[in-house]
Every structure is written in C-alpha cells, then in structure tokens.
Structure 1
Amino acid sequence: METMAVTFLKKLPRILIWLCLISLFFAINYVIIDSYNSFQGHPTQSKTSDMHKSKAVAYSNASAKLKKNNIVNHDKIKDKQAGTKKKESQESKLHKSKPKKSEYADQLLKLTNKTPRKIIDIMGLPPIKFDQRYKNPCFIGDVSNPLFQDGRLHCLPYFYIIGVKKSGTSDFFNRIAAHPEFQTPSFKEAQWFPRLRAGIDTKFITERSDFINTIQKGIDNRSIKFYISMFDSAADGIQNCTRRRVTTNKCITAEATPANLHMHTGWKLMPGNEGLTEPRYTNFHYIKHLTPDVKIIIIFRNPVSRLFSDFMHQIKLSSEHNIDEHEAANKFHHVAKTLIDEYTICFDKFSMRRCIYDEEFEKGLPQGSQYLAESFRAGFYAFYMEELLSVFQEDQLFVINMEQYLTKTRQTLKETFKFLNMSAISSRELSEILNFNVSNESKKHYDMLPKTKHLLYEFYKPYNKQMATLLKDNSFLFPER
C-alpha cells in the first residue's frame, strides 16, 4: 500500500497537467462551437457569449469604417495634392509664357525729346486713302496705305465724344452704342491722345484686352499705328456687319475720351510745336488730319457742379474715401480758392491760351491742388469751343447741354442719330435704349459750402457768358442756383 501511495504521488503532477490540458481542450472547443452557431444565425445561450459577440461586431464595424475613411481621406489627399501640383504646373507654364496684366504697363514707352520724329509726326503723314465702300473711315493695309502692310481692314473712329468729364459721357456713349449700326471697339475711352501716346499708364487701360493685344504686336505706343490697332475688333465687326437690316457700309465705330478736350499731354515735344509757349498743333489738329470728315460731340455741364462732382470722384478713389461731408466741403473750398487765385494771376501775366496749355504751370501749383487742376481748366468752355471751331467746320460739331439731355433724352438721342447720319430706329428700339441704366453716378451725395458755390459761379460767370454768346444759347449761362 505504501508503495502504491508513493507511486501515485510521483505521478500526480503529470495527472494534473493532463487534466489542465483536457479542460483547455473542451473550453476551446466550446468557444469554437459557439462562434460557429453565432455565425450560422443560431441563438446563443450564454450572456457572456452575447457580450463577446457584440464587442466583436462593434469592433469589426468600427474597423471597417475607419479603414474606409482612411482610404477615402488618403485618396482625397492624393487627389488634392495631384490637383495642386497640376494647378501649380499650369500656373508656372502660364507665368512663363504670359506675364501678368500689370506687367504690360512696364512696356509703355515715354514721350521724350529723344523720341524719333518719324514715330510721332502725325501731321507729316500723307492722307489716308479710305475705302469708299465703308461709311466709317476704314482702309486696307497695303501699298496704298504704308502704315500697315498686313492686308487686313483697319478703322478709325467715325465720331468722337470728347467731353466734358463728369458730364454723363458714359451714359450717353452706351446709349448711342446700342444702335444696331454701331460696332463697339470693346472700350469707351481709348485714352491714346492724352495718355498712352505719352507713355502715361492708367490702371484700367493697361488691363484691357485691346491694349494687351496691341502691345503684344510690338507696336510702339507713341505711334498712331498703336491707336489704330486698338480698333481692330471694331474693324472686324464693321467688315462683318450683318445685323438685322444693317448693311456693311453703314456700320460705324467711335470712342469717348473726355480728356481729349482738355489734356494735350506732351504737346511741346510734338513736331511743329518745339520751342513754342502755345501749341500750333493740338489733339484737335491730329484728329482732323487723320479723319478730315470726322464728327465731334461735346456734352457740357454746369462747370461748378461738375467740378465738385469730379472732386468727390477723386476723393472716392483716394485714401480719403471715408471723409465726412463737412471735411470734404472745407477741403474743396480750399482747393477751389487756390486754383482760382493761381489761374487769375497767370491770366494777368500771360495769355489765357498759354496758361491753359502750360503743363509746367500746372505742375508748379501748390501741393494739394494739382490733382483737380485738370478738371478746373476744363471748365473754360468758351475757350475750348473757340479752339474746336478754329480746326473743325461748324457742321462737324454737335454740342449738348447735359441738363437738356437728362430732361429730353429721347429728343437728344434722335437728334444725335440724325447728326451721325445713322438710320432711324423704331419706337420700341428707342424705348429699350431709354430704359438702360448705364450711368455711373456716385450714390453718396455731398454738398459744397454756399460760399464756395458763390465763389466759383462768380469766377466762371464771364466764361459762361462767352459760351452762351458763341453758341447763341442762353442755357449755357449756367446761372447760380
């Protein structure tokens, strides 16, 4: 017995090990069977099993969703990175092949005393031989017209609206442009005579497609060829003019740069004007030389209210755009009084013509008044009318009083179409034009000081009287109100 007990004790550890293995085997087998039943959709009897199953399913779903999100996000990141690289690549190519629009301004050449005469000598050009098949002054670039040798049609404006700034020229131009016989040059103001010819940049010009297209052709901006090329799109329209009842030879184009009236930049550098204190040739002479039969339209507005309107426009564009009414009125009074004093002194010393055309005089005006001087001298209406009449025939000029245009728009448009020899349009078409909302008036309304208004009315009074006498029309007296 003792021997059997000893033997049993020796074998006990092995027995325990086997029992543990057997227990582990049955436990694993149970879990496998339970999982199999769960997979087959059989109900489980164990709450523990249910809990494990719930956790397993939750973990499985969460893992699947996370994996899916990771894949989607990864794909999005890849797509975004690829798109960014593609965009950067495209922009890189674009910048290499085409400079930014603002950079075109750097290609403007300045008008100086070293500018070759042959480039800027407009008065020395032989008369352009216009194609008589077109009502508009157009010509084919060939041996008969040495300016161009490209075989295409080129055109100059049939008429000009040359002033005065802040007198409704934008509104008027857009209504005239709505006539079916008008071919737009894609802009209102060419700004060539007063600015581009002299190499003066203005933001809205150097960003325009007509300017960019012309500068890309390598044409000198000081040359008349540059100006003519700005109307190439209008020339294409005139050549293909087939709208409604319109025939090719009746289509026309035009431009409306108000500064053409009073801004004769660099006139002393132009051939024939060297060494003079007053110009022999002005913008008017150049326009007449290029297009002898051209028509000129001028809109005049009360010079006092127009000057204040332009002052507020300049303020709006400056860093002082938030200025209050009282401060604006006082600032305008100071500038107006300064300009009146300075021009009065000049008129006492020299001729009025010399003072108005003297660019150095304007540059020497007291600081703070120079920016409004251009608009101030544009108010000498009788002077500019006499300048125009010394160059053009009376029947080439059409003068409009802005107040009458605003109150009698239908009549004014009819008279304008007649002056331009444009076909009469139906009442419906005219009504559509009248319903346009194309004015660019500022919404903010300020008033000048009463003392400023009186001061300006008294200053402009003798010039307004000259204007009324010249035109035989008392509406141009512009009495104080």
Structure 2
Amino acid sequence: MSQNHIRSALSTIVVIFTFLMALFTLPKEKSFLKEEEKEYAHFQPQPKNISFDGSHYSNSPSHRVLSHTRVIVEENNTKMSTLQVGAIDKFRSFSSNSSEHLSPSLQRSLQLETHPSQLMNSSSIRLSNYSAISASENVNIPVTVPNDLKRLRPMILDDFPSKFLPSYKNPCYIKYTTDKKLHCLPYFFLLGTPKSGTTDIWSKILAHPEIVAAIKEPHWWTRTSYPSAPLEVYEKRYMTNAIVKRTGTDIQKKQLTITGDGSASTFWDNMRWKEIYPEYDQKGPPYIMADVIHTVLPNAKLLVSFRDPTYRLYSDYIFFKPVGVTSPENFHDRVVTEINKFSTCLTNRSLEACAYCCKDQKVRLNIGLYSVYLRDWLKRYPRHQLMALKLEEWHARCTQLLPEIFQFLEVSSLSPIKIADICKKPSQNITSKKKWIGPMLNSTREILRDFYRPFVVRLASILNDDRFLWDYNDRQELQTEG
C-alpha cells in the first residue's frame, strides 16, 4: 500500500473518530422536560387565519394549542374537510377521502401524526365548536388584553400562561423562562355566597380520588391578589403543591388529577373597583374579576351554589356577628337601614354600581343579588360551563346531585355505595347552636322577600329553572320574564 493510501485511510479514521466523539458528547435534553412534554415545548404554531364561530384572528405569539374539537380546514375560502384533533396535540383522524380534493402542499400537511404546526402554517383554518373545549385543552387564541382590564390586576394580566400542557387534564404548564417547573391553575371554581353550603359541597367533591386542593377558600382573585400579586404565588401555594403532593412522581395520575378554587367570594366580591375605576362611579365597573379569570382560564368549569337569599342573609348575620350582639330585632333594624341605603344609591347610580359598591354594611344585603352577578358571569362564560346548585336540595338529594357534579367535572364515576358513603358524612360549617338567636321576625321576612323578589324571579329566568324561585313567586311571573 502506498503512503498516499495510508495517509488517506488515516484521515478517514480521524474524521470518523471526530464525528463519533461529537455525537456522544451532544448535550442531553434538560431533565425538567418530561417525555410527554418534549414535543410540546417546541410547538410555536403561526396560523394564517383562524375563526371561532365566525370571528377571525390573526397571527400572535400568544396562543394555546387546540385539542379535542372539530377543525374545518379551508383553502381559497372553500371548506375542504373536517378533521378531529387528538388529545395529545396531533391530528388522529379526519374525514374519509378528505385529502383527495386538496392541493399537494395541504395534503402533505394532513398526513396522520403530522404536527399541528405544519397544518396551521399551510392554509387558512376555521375552528368550530370552540365552546366544547374543556378547561385543560389549549386553544390557539391570540389574547389581547384591553388596557382598562389590565388596570384591574396588572401583574396577572401581564404574565399569564399562553399555553397549557395538552396531556394534562388540569390547566398546567412549564414556565421555561424562570424555574422550569410545573405550574397549575384551577380546573374549576366553586362559586356562590356565604352560608349557601359551599363548604359542605366542597368537602364532598374532594372525596373524589381525582380531585385535590390545598385549601377551600384562598380568596386570591378577589382579595389577596390586590393590588399587585403575581400569579405564580397562587399557582404554587394553592394549586401546584396540591397536585404534586397527591400524585408524587406518577405522571399518569398527575395528568388525570384536577384541582379547584372554592372561594365563594369570587362570584360576587368586586368591591375594590371604585379605587381602580373612579371615573365609573355612577355607571358601575367596566370590568370585574370574571373578566380576569376568563382571560386566563376561558374554559374553566363553574359550580355555583344558591340559597334562599332571605334566609342566607339571616344565617350570615348570625354566623359573622359575635354572640351577645345579635338579636332578631337588631337584625330587623340593620335590614331596614341597608335597604334604604340601597334604594338611595339607585337614584343616581346603576344597579351594577350599587350591587358592587358595598363595603361597610350593617348586613351584607347585596350578596343576595344573585341575578346581577350570575348575569355578569354568563356574559363571559357560556351557559354549559356553569352548573347551578340549590342548597335546599343539596342535603336531601346529595346521592343524586354529587354524581351529576362529577359528570359535569368530567371525572370518573364512583359506585353508588361510595357516593352514599360520601353523602353520609356530617355537613360542614353549620352555624353553631350556641349562636342561634331564634327565628327571624315575620315583619323582617316580608321586607326582605319584597326586596329580593325581582332578583329571584330574574335568577330563575336566567337559569330557565323555576326551582330557583323558591316560593317568592308563581310560575306565571317567571314565564313573563324575558
């Protein structure tokens, strides 16, 4: 063998050796990226056009990944095919022979197991049935937050997650820019009012093995987050830690577990709005906490517990006032004072301004204005994402209602025996007998029923359910309500 051949062979060996060394010394994936998250970490779809129920959105860095909904692919403004988006960020199936009529480039994008970003870059897309997306699913929606809304909670709305992990049922994400750890937000909210059974409902919901929570009422959105608290504090203290503690290192269990926020005040408490929007003193708040929550969690599920507002107010008065101060007569005087104040407020302010304005009340009369608050929540959330409960039925029908709640939350069903065992547990947060001061005066009851009647009728009308009339009115009046 000539020297030239030897030198050539040695050079080849050196090149191969260098290549192998480089191959084995490549940096490994960061440990915090779990297998089910690796692909998602690099997903940056840039759709040309997306429409939800006919409304088009342009490209934006703020996006969430669509999952579990029907997608209609369009090319040259012509609907070409309907596809089904799978649970783990890939198109699992699409209508038979759908690709026959598409251009070659779009056909390539519709290959089974193709990454969604390829499809989204290839053509105009229309996303239909948006309202069916569940809380854990990640929708590619550009989020533009109005400046006035940002004033309500700037630290939340300047730094909320733009996407969630598609393999998690609960809205969770990895914060790659900071700690590179799992962060979770609530999948559902248990809303309502004080003394409406939320504590007992909450305790029985948490008996389900797939539902966890740190504490029932952090009151974070309406109170603790004001004036400027980062979302990260809430995530870690109340949501993420609860999931991690329950599931440990079990990834599959972690993906199926959900958590919630049981702060009843989230439904009605917006009392800081005058400090934030003083120019709206007479009109009422332009934005409320429901706007903030919907911006961050548009697919959250909402449970709302209601109680006859007259008896709710009396129970609230007894529970929150010290022993020795309360009496039926004292309650009557306070009720008359607050009704007069509310009537005066309505002479120069809107109903919303008066309902949301009350800080220093002798009794918390405004909390019973359920229809005002429910209407505002349903302006932000579709009706099918809200389940209304009636306290007076809860205790008597727990074994029927609890499975309905679990079905609404889309967790696994429990056996009738297990449900019965949960419902047998003693009711939580019942007003102490030591605080009981006797029944309400009949005159007070009639005053309150007259005051609350139009709001109760409106509530039943909004819910299209005359069970929420209690006995304030007959069915005929409900039918005449819009």
Which of 164, 180, 198 does residue 169 from structure 1 map onto? Answer: 198
Deviation at 1:472? Answer: 1.4
Within 5 A, what are the aligned runs for 1:67-106?
Answer: none
* Distance in structure 1 (CA, Å) of the matches to 2:460 and 2:374: 11
Contact 2:197–2:305 under 8 Å retained in 1: yes
Change (3 A) 1:241 1:175: farther
Deviation at 1:349? Answer: 2.4
Aligned to 1:388: 377
Contact 1:173–1:188 under 8 Å retained in 2: yes
Contact 1:193–1:264 under 8 Å retained in 2: no
Within 5 A, what are the aligned runs for 1:64-463?
Answer: 120-125=154-159, 127-143=161-177, 149-185=178-214, 187-198=215-226, 222-230=229-237, 231-237=239-245, 240=248, 247-270=253-276, 273=277, 275-277=279-281, 278-315=284-321, 318=322, 321-323=323-325, 328-359=327-358, 362-363=359-360, 370-373=361-364, 376-444=365-433, 445=436, 446-463=438-455
Paired residues, number: 318
Determine what percentage of the aligned residue pairs are the same residue: 29
The CA RMSD over aligned residues, in Å, is 2.4
Aligned to 1:104: none
* Distance in structure 1 (CA, Å) of the matches to 2:304 and 2:170: 20
* Distance in structure 2 (CA, Å) of the matches to 1:154 and 1:351: 40
| Length-normalised TM-score, structure 2 | 0.62
Contact 1:295–1:396 under 8 Å retained in 2: yes
Deviation at 1:355? Answer: 1.2
Contact 1:454–1:480 under 8 Å retained in 2: no
Contact 1:171–1:440 under 8 Å retained in 2: yes
Change (3 A) 1:240 1:127: same
Secondary structure at 2:189 match in 1: strand
Change (3 A) 1:346 1:159: same
* Distance in structure 1 (CA, Å) of the matches to 2:152 and 2:280: 20
Change (3 A) 1:239 1:304: same
Deviation at 1:198? Answer: 2.8
- The letter for the 1-side match of 2:451 is F
Contact 2:243–2:257 under 8 Å retained in 1: no
Contact 1:188–1:257 under 8 Å retained in 2: yes
Deviation at 1:384? Answer: 1.1
- The letter for the 1-side match of 2:386 is L
- The letter for the 2-side match of 1:415 is E
- The letter for the 1-side match of 2:388 is V
Secondary structure at 1:333 match in 2: helix
Q: Cα deviations across residues 66-122 of structure 1 (Å, max 9, x unaligned)?
A: xxxxxxxxxxxxxxxxxxxxxxxxxxxxxxxxxxxxxxxxxxxxxxxxxx9797343
Change (3 A) 1:117 1:163: closer
Contact 1:197–1:222 under 8 Å retained in 2: yes
Change (3 A) 1:262 1:348: same
Deviation at 1:282? Answer: 1.1
Aligned to 1:479: 471
Change (3 A) 1:258 1:119: closer
Secondary structure at 1:166 match in 2: coil
Change (3 A) 1:371 1:234: farther
Contact 1:194–1:259 under 8 Å retained in 2: yes
- The letter for the 1-side match of 2:363 is L
Contact 2:191–2:263 under 8 Å retained in 1: yes
Q: Which has the higher strand share?
A: 2
Contact 2:307–2:392 under 8 Å retained in 1: yes
Contact 2:192–2:304 under 8 Å retained in 1: yes
Secondary structure at 1:279 match in 2: coil
Contact 1:163–1:261 under 8 Å retained in 2: yes
Change (3 A) 1:458 1:372: same
Secondary structure at 1:335 match in 2: helix
Secondary structure at 1:415 match in 2: helix
* Distance in structure 1 (CA, Å) of the matches to 2:460 and 2:472: 15
* Distance in structure 1 (CA, Å) of the matches to 2:157 and 2:225: 15
Q: Cα deviations across residues 422-481 of structure 1 (Å, max 9, x unaligned)?
A: 101122221221121142112323211110011101111111111111111112112259
| Bigger-Rg structure (1/2) | 1
Q: Which moved more, 1:296-305 or 1:419-428?
A: 419-428
Secondary structure at 2:346 match in 1: helix
Q: Cα deviations across residues 180-221 of structure 1 (Å, max 9, x unaligned)?
A: 101222x1101112221237xxxxxxxxxxxxxxxxxxxxx6
* Distance in structure 2 (CA, Å) of the matches to 1:250 and 1:173: 19
Q: Cα deviations across residues 31-66 of structure 1 (Å, max 9, x unaligned)?
A: xxxxxxxxxxxxxxxxxxxxxxxxxxxxxxxxxxxx
* Distance in structure 1 (CA, Å) of the matches to 2:182 and 2:327: 50
Contact 1:135–1:251 under 8 Å retained in 2: yes
- The letter for the 2-side match of 1:350 is R
Which 5+ residue runs of structure 2 have no aligned equivalent?
1-149, 474-482
Contact 1:119–1:223 under 8 Å retained in 2: no
Q: Does 1 or 2 have the higher relative contact order (CA < 8 Å, sep 6+)?
A: 1
Deviation at 1:223? Answer: 2.3
